[in-house]
Amino acid sequence: MWRRALLTAATLTFCLADATAAGDYELVMHLKHRGLPELQKAFRQISDPDSARYLKFLSQTELATLVGATDQELEEARGWLLRLGAEPSSLRVSGLRDTMSARFSAPAGSANHGVGVEDRGGWWTQLGASQRPESVQFVVRRDHLTRSAASGEKGRRSVFKGLNSSFGEYTVPKIKAAYGMPVDLVAGNDTTLQMVWGPGTFGYSPLQLAAHKVAECPLLDLSKVHFDTANHGKSGGDNFGEGNLDVKMIASFGLNVKTIVSNTNTSASTEEGNGFGQAMLDFITDLAARKVVPHVLSLSLGSLSSGSCKLLCESVGKEGKFTEGECNDFLQTQRQVCMFISDDQTARINTAFQLLAVRGVSVFGSSGDGGSHYSFQPFSGGAIADALSEVSCKYQMPVFPTGSPYIVSVGGTMWKGDGSHPVAWEEDKTYGTGGGFSWQFGMPDWQKKAVAAYLVNTTGLPPASSFNKAGRAFPDISGVAVEGTSQSSPLVAGMFSMIVDKRLSKGLPALGFVSPRLWKVAAAYPGEAFLDVTEGGTALTCDNGFPAAPGWDAATGWGRPIWPGLLKHLGEDEVTADTLVI
């Protein structure tokens, strides 16, 4: 409960008179969504292959009507912002009418920028509280006008494991051969769109991509890859390496699909700390409200979920050796371990995932590289690190955003021989495919049967007290991860872009949130669309973890793709009884 304590301690000091000098910044009001139950219902039905509403996506305008603020609410928010000192010409309402942003002039050197108190990581709860309209849920700050990219090592390795551009035996053509994907299969529709995203130094080097084309992917059309925002990342940062890997994978497997590389580093400490969650919230909210959305989005970056971080520090706090506050301060010195500040922030990100799904976007996320216990690896650096590592082994610690029930989680497999016999990815008992069960989100219906079979039939499961067997189970599927699950997610996402490309050319809709259909296909046609992975597991240095097993498992999901089967089962839609009636 440490975060709540912090929020209530924050006092309101807003003072318009100070808001004059240089140092512009933006505030974004997140307005309460109306119609959330209807959105959830639309999400379920539009993603459910058995529903008459399956793939009947909603337009930006329809969604604005469903969840967006009313004219009166927008008017109230506008009046409030102006009273706080917003520059009138800077006011912007998002395409879904669910955020309003405004630019402010901050007094130089003032931590509070004259208008309120920042709780942490750009999150403002108390701003203008006394006059705040009911429709404003919370306020976040965009810093892109004032701060420089966070950088510097904090002693932990990022998801992206290295800059070794040589995959050795493990090349794009060989992976495609193992998956049964023709090496010369290129996109045929100009409108197919795929995207990768990250904050901080995230970006890509056109030179590295050109070298990759020569070495592994001669048909790659470099002109199909574009930056999305003015931020193009910065070489030297870990997220820059991440971006390069993401771009290589999604562009090689979604070959010649138009690819957007997006960087939203609009908060402090986006590269490794709790500013990341804020940047993701900003990005995903903005994306869901855009006029044009991609068909496929891959998210490689993430950290332990807010629920896992809470569990860690509450457990350490209970032992009495360290306070929860000390624990949380220590966690912020660990790179990319606790990057989401609260359940509220997570909930809003999840809403944006649902909005994207009902607009037809398929979102994929890396299942993490620390097995089921860590963001990456055990903690090091003294007694508090030892205490945290001990708690981390006692519980399974799910990560986010991959643990969200609204995206497809992609785990990892190793590469051996010709890749025909995949094993769960694990390296030196230090890094390995993430998996497990969310503490925060319940298990969706489409998972229940297969997960129950896994829990009943599998020997060597971790202690029942160490995980939430009623939670969202992940990963859903997996892919090759020699460079971590940061490789498998964009790789698999690219393959789905190719399926979407075929669908669009046949006049069929894109796939939207594809998990319910994937789970259905995997259960009904074993061995057709996914090659089952039954060896390895997520324990790493701990003495417990989730073993891979026949059928779905919490280390590799349903297994890795088999291209011809994926195309057969997802490239067409069956003619249902429903459509025949009409």
Active site (catalytic) residues: 242, 246, 486
Q: Which residue, 98 or 272, is less far from ligand NAG as judged by CB?
A: 272
> Distance between CA atoms of 557 and 451, rounded to whole angstroms?
10
Residue at shortest CB range from ligand NAG:
168
The verdict on whether residue 261 carries a ligand-binding annotation is no
* Site membership for ligand NAG, residue 459 (CB under 6 A): no
Partners of 561 in the beta sheet? Answer: 530
- The residues in 157-196 that bind ligand NAG, with binding defined as CB under 6 A, are 164, 166, 168, 189, 191
Phi-psi region of 286 (alpha: psi -120 to 50; beta: other; left: phi over 0): alpha
Tell me how far, at minimum, the Cβ of 277 lies from ligand NAG, in Å.
Answer: 14
**Is 329 within any annotated ligand binding site?**
no
Residues 345-404 touching ligand NAG, rule: CB under 6 A, are none
Tell me the per-residue interface mask from 218 to 237 with ligand NAG, x by CB under 6 A, - otherwise: -------------x-xx---
CA 277, 280, 282, 284 torsion: positive or negative?
negative
- Does 553 sit near ligand NAG (CB under 6 A)? no
Q: Enumerate residues 489-528 that contact ligand NAG by CB under 6 A.
A: 504-505
By CB under 6 A, name the one of 427, 453, 528, 564 that touches ligand NAG.
453
Q: CA 536 to CA 137: how far, in whole Å? A: 44
Q: Report which of 20, 26, 42 is spatially closest to residue 146, judged by C-alpha positions.
A: 26
247-266 residues in contact with ligand NAG (CB under 6 A) are 265-266
- Residues in contact with ligand NAG, counted by CB under 6 A, come to a total of 22
State the DSSP code for 411.
E
Closest distance between ligand NAG and the C-beta of residue 164, in Å?
Answer: 4
Does the annotation list 423 as a binding residue?
A: no
* Cα distances (Å, whole numbers) of residue 488 to 148, 175, 217, 462: 31, 11, 17, 25
Tokens 């059309």 sit at which residue?
A: 221
> Under the criterion CB under 6 A, does residue 488 sit at the interface with ligand NAG?
no
Q: Is the Cβ–Cβ distance between 124 and 139 less than 8 Å? A: yes
Residue from 73, 118, 143, 246 binding ligand NAG (CB under 6 A): 143
3-state secondary structure 175-192: HHHHHCCCCCCCCCCCCC
Question: CA triplet 143, 144, 149: central angle to 5 degrees?
Answer: 95
Of 135, 123, 124, the closest CA to residue 98 belongs to 135
Closest distance to ligand NAG from the beta carbon of 186 (Å): 13
Q: Is 553 annotated as a binding residue?
A: yes
Q: Find the DSSP H helices in 320-342.
A: 324-332
Of positions 59, 61, 70, 457, contacts ligand NAG by CB under 6 A: 457
Residues near ligand NAG (CB under 6 A): 143-144, 147-149, 164, 166, 168, 189, 191, 231, 233-234, 265-266, 270, 452-453, 456-457, 504-505
Residues flagged as binding site for Ca(2+): 532-533, 551, 553
